Structure 1
Amino acid sequence: MREELKTAIKASIAAGNSIMEIYHGNDFQVENKEDDSPLTVADRKANEIINEFLIPHNIPIISEENRQLDYEERKNWKQCWIVDPLDGTKEFIKKNDEFTVNIALVEQGKPLLGVIFAPALDTLYFGMVSDSKAFRFKISGDELDVDQILEKAEEIKPASSSEQLKVVGSRSHMNEETKQFIEELKSTHGENIEIVSKGSSLKFCLVAEGEAHIYPRFAPTMEWDTAAGHAICESVGLQCVFKESGEPMTYNRKDLLNGHFSVSYER
């Protein structure tokens, strides 16, 4: 998996650089997709770049911006890439810097590796589940040797459970189910719970790097929103489980829409 990880890192940085050229140029060319979510020229260009890197591996790709194949074509895949070329398009349009490139590799529905690059923050996260480690790297400059990134990246770890409980959530748009979840946490962890917030897949990174303890997501997401973050979190010992079944999240399902889930040490 080491070569696949290197490719995913290179692809995410190249796509991120392309996104930033458009970000600084202000010509986003925004349109709405069928589900009313926004699409920009940055989404399309980033997707083209990522495909160029991944296709030579001869592993099929599920990407938000690729044509979605019927499950009958996908169900026998052993491995596949799962890609969101620009996660947090709304954050991108609002120019708050909290958008990412997400690339994951999964096998038999389970994440093997994940890469998340936040180009406006110059921050790269990556992890391989088999290594039981995940890393963060602060990027400076466009020309980078991926071997140096792997060598110099800083290992990240989740927070201690003895610290004040921090929950990932929206400070201003929290739904009732999430509010109820937090109230239940107060009964076991005390009233002093801090809410921390970030856009896009950076929510997963908050938990993986110890800036939060729990990420409950009781709103719709797609597989490409979560696969890379899931891989990084699982690499540091966290569990990403569906709320309804309590079972680990899986990928390349018949329905690519995720159920509600949570990320934490607890299952």
Structure 2
Amino acid sequence: MNNNIKIAIQASLKAGEIIMNIYERDFEVETKKDNSPLTEADQKANAAIMSFLEKTDYPIISEENKQIDYATRKQWDTCWIVDPLDGTKEFIKRNGEFTVNIALVKDGLPKLGVIYVPATKELYYADVDQEEAYRVKLLKHSTSLKDINEYRRSIRPERIEDVTSVKVVGSRSHMSQATLDYMEKLKERGKEVEVVSKGSSLKFCLVAQGDANIYPRFAPTMEWDTAAGQAICNALGIDVISQETQQPMLYNKENLLNPWFIVGNVQV
């Protein structure tokens, strides 16, 4: 297991433990300047992750850190991109569909990705260059790397060149009209469309493990929402394509806001 993946996994598990301790009791919700919610879990999980990643050689972009000016960031060829609690709205709703996202990006492209689902203790991680992606169902947050390595299972979604019935991932909290219009176009082309709703970066995991075929995202996301999920999909040969450039989505951009994108493992 790549040493950077080991560090990211350990950071994600510690963050997950902290998140669940807060999830199981009353907590307050603040509102950030962009009107998105913020909880104690976001902040404490971020601090835990930083304590691991700051020991590495790479700088960090995190949703909960003060954002660094692009004049500095553009000098970075490699950096971490982190969302300590992706799906804060799902956390507040207590539906379990929230994740910890950690990715390592080199020259704008994700190379390593870790997604941890604290409520179900499911861990996903991938090494893009090695074309390896894994899922592990843990019994406890403090599971050792040795046990993770022993009980991991490869993710190998079946690739189908053409389908008549398409499972489309929709956001649990952010389904846009443009996404609904996209699904209508699929129907007009003779496709049967089944909508699979999930919160947070779990949408990438659904496509990666073959539980969905395509994830169109025609609504705002930030780089920390998607980098880890893109790494997991890319390791399996699943593209994450910017609808602005028709090329793979890039990271550590001047503007950390993502373009619209489509994730897919089938031709539709």
Bigger fraction of residues in strand: 2
TM-score tier by shorter-chain length is: over 0.9
Residues 1:137 and 2:136 are matched in the alignment:
yes
Give the corresponding residue for 1:83.
Answer: 82
CA contact (8 A) 1:159 1:212 kept: no
Q: Which amino acid aligns with 1:177?
A: A
**CA shift in 2, pair 1:153/1:52, >3 Å:** same
- Give the CA deviation at 1:14: 0.4
CA contact (8 A) 2:171 2:203 kept: no
Q: Which amino acid aligns with 2:135?
A: R
Give the corresponding residue for 1:7.
Answer: 7
CA contact (8 A) 2:136 2:151 kept: yes
Residues of 2 paired with 1:53 and 1:68: CA distance? 19
TM-score by length of 2: 0.94
Deviation readout 1:185-212 (Å, 9 max, x if unpaired): 2244x34211101100000000000000
**CA shift in 2, pair 1:133/1:90, >3 Å:** same
CA contact (8 A) 1:82 1:104 kept: yes
CA contact (8 A) 1:158 1:213 kept: no
Q: Which amino acid aligns with 2:138?
A: I
Give the corresponding residue for 1:242.
Answer: 242
Residues of 2 paired with 1:91 and 1:178: CA distance? 20
Residues of 2 paired with 1:201 and 1:171: CA distance? 11
Q: Which amino acid aligns with 1:5?
A: I
Give the corresponding residue for 1:179.
Answer: 180
CA contact (8 A) 2:214 2:262 kept: yes
- Give the CA deviation at 1:131: 1.5
Matches within 5 A, 1:1-267: 2-26=2-26, 28-161=27-160, 164-170=165-171, 174-188=175-189, 190-265=190-265
Residues of 2 paired with 1:250 and 1:173: CA distance? 22
Aligned-partner SS, 2:252: coil
**CA shift in 2, pair 1:171/1:142, >3 Å:** closer
CA contact (8 A) 1:98 1:118 kept: yes
Residues of 1 paired with 2:120 and 2:126: CA distance? 19
CA contact (8 A) 1:159 1:207 kept: no
Show structure 1 runs of 5+ residues with no match. Answer: none
Q: Which amino acid aligns with 1:138?
A: K
Residues of 1 paired with 2:65 and 2:118: CA distance? 22
Deviation readout 1:41-68 (Å, 9 max, x if unpaired): 0000000000000001021000000010
Residues of 1 paired with 2:15 and 2:107: CA distance? 27
**CA shift in 2, pair 1:43/1:171, >3 Å:** closer
Aligned-partner SS, 2:198: coil
Deviation readout 1:33-91 (Å, 9 max, x if unpaired): 00000000000000000000000102100000001000001001011000000000010
Residues of 2 paired with 1:184 and 1:154: CA distance? 36
**CA shift in 2, pair 1:142/1:265, >3 Å:** closer
Show structure 2 runs of 5+ residues with no match. Answer: none
Residues of 1 paired with 2:192 and 2:266: CA distance? 19
Q: Which amino acid aligns with 2:207?
A: V
CA RMSD of aligned residues (A): 1.7
- Give the CA deviation at 1:29: 2.1
- Greater shift after overlay, 47-56 or 145-154? 145-154
Q: How many positions carry a matched residue from both structures? A: 265
TM-score by length of 1: 0.95
